[in-house]
Amino acid sequence: MQVEHRIKVATTPASIFNIYQDVENWHTWDPDTKRATLQGPFDVGSRGRLTPTKGNTVPMVVTKMVHDSCFTVESKIPLFRMVFEHELVPMQGMTEVIHRVTFSGPLTFVLGRMLVKQLNSGLPLTLQRLKALSESLSAA
């Protein structure tokens, strides 16, 4: 089960990636995140915790990282796995930002449907806020 949303932002992939690297401040542009922490650098293998605004804190690990291009974090709870992909695609004078969430595991049937609805309403707002923040920082 997968959810994906995209937005075009008038800034460079590097400027958006700088925002991504500031894990402790994800909550300032992602309304579905109450708190996020990462132990160590923003790089593959680093572990942390994410507390959604609705739900319990879950562990997360960075599983993929290409500086200024993409990163993936994965969260696992018993019988359920969530993979959060963030892609930055350079375009002429802009960047297409893609956020994709994939669910797997036996509990997908139960949890997936609920989370898909929540993500389909939350991800567009998250992307709008990321766009506003990155464009305001680029203009400064």
The domain that contains 130 carries what CATH number?
3.30.530.20
User: Which tokens sit at 14?
Assistant: 């590097």
Range of the domain at 46: 2-139
Q: How many distinct structural domains can be found in the chain? A: 1
Ranges of beta strands (E only) in the chain are: 2-9, 33-39, 47-52, 58-66, 70-77, 80-91, 94-104
- pLDDT tens per residue across span 113-133: 778 888 888 899 999 999 999
- Could you give the count of Cα atoms lying within 13 Å of 100 in the half-sphere of its Cβ? 12
Q: How many residues does the chain have?
A: 140
pLDDT at 72: 97
**Residue showing tokens 């449907």:** 113
Kindly report, residue by residue over 3-62, the tens digit of the pLDDT: 999 999 999 999 999 999 999 999 999 999 999 999 999 999 999 999 988 888 999 999
- The gap from C-alpha 130 to its chain's centroid, in whole angstroms, comes to 10
What pLDDT is attached to residue 38? 97
Q: Which two tokens stand for residue 56?
A: 């319990």
What span, in angstroms and rounded, lies between the C-alpha atoms of 24 and 2?
26
Q: Are 140 and 18 in contact (CB under 8 A)?
A: no
pLDDT for position 68: 97
Q: What is the pLDDT of residues 75-87, one digit of tens each?
A: 998 888 999 999 9
Strand order in the sheet with 80-91: 2-9, 94-104, 80-91, 70-77, 58-66, 47-52, 33-39
